[in-house]
Amino acid sequence: MLRFICPICNLPADETELTPGGEAHIQRKGPGSSDSEFYEYLFERKNPLGIHFERWLHSYGCGKWFHAARCTKTMEVFGTYKAQEVKPPRHIIDNIKKKRPNWKNE
């Protein structure tokens, strides 16, 4: 079972307490954007085999959204951070690079 530390309540949260919310850091395109830009926002996903930045909702806890970095191949969790962050913070990137020296952040 997956287990994250919720960055809001700082408590360990099991997968059963959480609701997955898919890929993180997808930015909504503004007015005037094209159909294909909206397609990218709505449907296109990285779906990587490896490190995935994703959103989780602590539904049976504080009820807040947060972000997590997780490997989709090994299920290893590299850390969690607040939903307000628009990109993965330094310490998460460092933590991933320490364990996966060959990983490239796209």
Q: Name the site residues for other proteins (rule: CB under 8 A).
A: 1-2, 15-16, 19-20, 22-23, 35-36, 39-40, 42-49, 52, 54, 72-75
Q: Which is nearer to other proteins, 73 or 87 (CB)?
A: 73
Question: Shortest Cβ distance from residue 51 to other proteins (Å)?
Answer: 11
Q: Which is nearer to other proteins, 3 or 87 (CB)?
A: 3
Q: Which is nearer to other proteins, 23 or 85 (CB)?
A: 23
Question: Shortest Cβ distance from residue 101 to other proteins (Å)?
Answer: 20
Pairing of strands 51-57, 65-71: antiparallel
Tokens of 40: 């990218």
Rounded to whole angstroms, the Cα distance separating 26 from 95 reads 22
Q: Which is nearer to other proteins, 75 or 86 (CB)?
A: 75
What's the Cα-to-Cα distance from 17 to each of 20, 44, 53, 82, rounded to whole Å?
10, 27, 19, 17
Q: How many CA atoms lie within 13 A of 37 on its CB side?
A: 8
